[in-house]
Structure 1
Amino acid sequence: MKSQARHAITLAGAAAVGLALIAFAQGQPTPTVQPEPHGVFGAILNYLNHEPFILLFLIVAAGFALGEVKVKGVGMGSTAATLLLALIVSFWAFHTHKIQYSLPEFTSTVFFNLFIFAIGMKVGPQFLGGIHREGKHLILLALLVPLLSSALVYASRFFTTLGPGLLAGILSGANTATPGFGAAQAALASGAAKLSPEAAKLAPDNLTTSYAFLYCISMVAFTVLMSFMPRMFGRDAVADGKAMEKELAGEDSAPLPGTADAFIRGYMPLDLRVFRVENPALEGRTVADLDHAHPRVAVERVYHDGRVYNPPPDLVLHRGDEVAMLGPVSLLLAGGPHIGPEVDDSKLRNVKFDTVEFIVQNKEVVGKTLGELAQRAGQGIYLNAIFRAGDQLPVSRDLAVRKGDVLRITGSSRRVADLKKTLGPAVKPSLSTDIITLGLGLAAGALLGAITIPLFGIQFSLGSAVGLLIVSIGLSILRTHNPALGGPFPESARQLLEDLGLNVFIAILGLNAGSGVQHAIERGLLGPTLIIGSIAAFVPPIVGWVVGQYVFKMNTAVLMGAIAGARCNSAGMRAAQEASKSIVPAIGYPVTFAISNLLLTLICYMFALLG
Structure 2
Amino acid sequence: MSGHLLSTQPEIALFASLAIGFFIGSFKLGPIQLGGVCGTLIVALILGQSGARVSPDLKNIAFALFIFALGFTGGPQFFANIGRGWRYGALSLVEVIVVVALVLGIAAMLKLDPGTAAGLLAGGATESAVIGTASEAVARLGLPPADIARLQANIVTAYSVSYLFGLVTIVLFSSQFAPLLLRVNLRDEAERVWRKLGGDGALAQGQTPAVSPLAARELKVDGAAGSSIGELEKRFGNNVSVQRVMRDRSLIRSQPSVTLKAGDRIVVAGRREALVEAIPWIGEEVFNGGGDVFVEKADVMLTNRAMHGLTLAQARARANPAEGRGVFVAAVTRLDSTVPALPGTQVQRGDVLTLVGNKEDVARGAAKLGYLIPATQKTDFVFLGLGVLAGIALGRLSARVGGIDLSLGTGGGCLLAGLVFGWIRSRYPVIGSLPSAAAQILKDFGLCTFIAAVGLSAGADALRLVREFGIALPVAGIVITLGPALASLFIGRALLKLEVPMLLGAIAGQQCSTPAISALVGVTGNATPVIGYTITYAISNVLLPLLGPLVVGLVSKLG
TM-score bracket for this pair, using the shorter chain length? 0.5 to 0.7
User: Hey, what does 2:361 align to over in structure 1?
Assistant: 415
Give the Å deviation of 1:84: 0.8
Which residue of 398, 408, 422 maps to 1:452? 398
Equivalent position SS for 1:112? helix
User: Hey, what does 1:594 align to over in structure 2?
Assistant: 546
User: Hey, what does 2:371 align to over in structure 1?
Assistant: 427
Equivalent position SS for 1:236? helix
Which residue of 97, 100, 103 maps to 1:140? 97
> Any unmatched runs of 5+ in structure 1?
1-40, 157-166, 190-202, 255-260, 283-288, 362-368, 387-393, 396-405, 565-571
Is residue 270 of structure 2 the alignment partner of residue 334 of structure 1? no
Q: Distance in 2 between matches of 1:326 and 1:509?
A: 56
Q: Distance in 2 between matches of 1:424 and 1:119?
A: 23
**Residue identity in the other structure for 2:104:** L
Describe how 1:217-366 pairs up with structure 2 within 5 A.
Answer: 217-230=157-170, 236=176, 271-274=215-218, 300-301=243-244, 324-326=267-269, 329=275, 330-337=277-284, 342-345=286-289, 349=293, 351-354=295-298, 356=300
Number of positions where the alignment pairs a residue of Structure 1 with one of Structure 2:
471
Query: How does the TM-score come out when normalised to structure 2?
Result: 0.62
Does the aligned pair in 2 maintain the 1:116–1:465 contact within 8 Å?
no
**Residue identity in the other structure for 1:42:** S
Equivalent position SS for 2:399? strand
Q: Distance in 2 between matches of 1:81 and 1:141?
A: 28
Give the Å deviation of 1:226: 1.9
Which residue of 7, 13, 22 maps to 1:64? 22
Give the Å deviation of 1:83: 0.9
Q: Distance in 2 between matches of 1:239 and 1:223?
A: 23
Equivalent position SS for 2:2? helix
CA displacement, residues 219-271 of structure 1 (integer Å, 9 cap, x when unaligned): 3212211221246769638989x99x99xx998679xxxxxx9xx99999864
Q: Distance in 1 between matches of 2:211 and 2:291?
A: 25
Is residue 148 of structure 2 the alignment partner of residue 208 of structure 1? yes
Equivalent position SS for 2:406? strand
Q: Distance in 1 between matches of 2:546 and 2:414?
A: 12
1:465–1:298 Cα change, 3 Å: same
Does the aligned pair in 1 maintain the 2:384–2:432 contact within 8 Å?
no
Is residue 468 of structure 2 the alignment partner of residue 508 of structure 1? no
Q: RMSD of the alignment, in Å?
A: 5.8
> Any unmatched runs of 5+ in structure 2?
123-130, 181-185, 199-204, 235-239, 306-314, 333-341, 344-351, 491-502, 522-529
Is residue 20 of structure 2 the alignment partner of residue 76 of structure 1? no
Does the aligned pair in 1 maintain the 2:107–2:117 contact within 8 Å?
yes
Q: Distance in 2 between matches of 1:306 and 1:354?
A: 32
User: Hey, what does 1:603 align to over in structure 2?
Assistant: 555
1:502–1:78 Cα change, 3 Å: same
Does the aligned pair in 2 maintain the 1:77–1:578 contact within 8 Å?
no
**Residue identity in the other structure for 2:43:** L
User: Hey, what does 1:89 align to over in structure 2?
Assistant: 47
**Residue identity in the other structure for 1:224:** L
Equivalent position SS for 1:274? strand
CA displacement, residues 474-504 of structure 1 (integer Å, 9 cap, x when unaligned): 6777889x69597776655554444333223
Q: Distance in 1 between matches of 2:157 and 2:396?
A: 28
Is residue 459 of structure 2 the alignment partner of residue 517 of structure 1? yes
Give the Å deviation of 1:71: 3.9
Larger radius of gyration: 1
Query: How does the TM-score come out when normalised to structure 1?
Result: 0.57
1:497–1:325 Cα change, 3 Å: same
Give the Å deviation of 1:151: 1.3
Give the Å deviation of 1:532: 4.2
Does the aligned pair in 1 maintain the 2:217–2:268 contact within 8 Å?
yes
Equivalent position SS for 1:460? strand
Is residue 34 of structure 2 the alignment partner of residue 106 of structure 1? no
User: Hey, what does 1:37 align to over in structure 2?
Assistant: none
Does the aligned pair in 1 maintain the 2:219–2:265 contact within 8 Å?
yes
CA displacement, residues 104-132 of structure 1 (integer Å, 9 cap, x when unaligned): 22343234324632673486255653665
Identity percentage over the alignment?
19
Q: Distance in 2 between matches of 1:90 and 1:557?
A: 37
CA displacement, residues 522-544 of structure 1 (integer Å, 9 cap, x when unaligned): xxxx64x4444557744544344
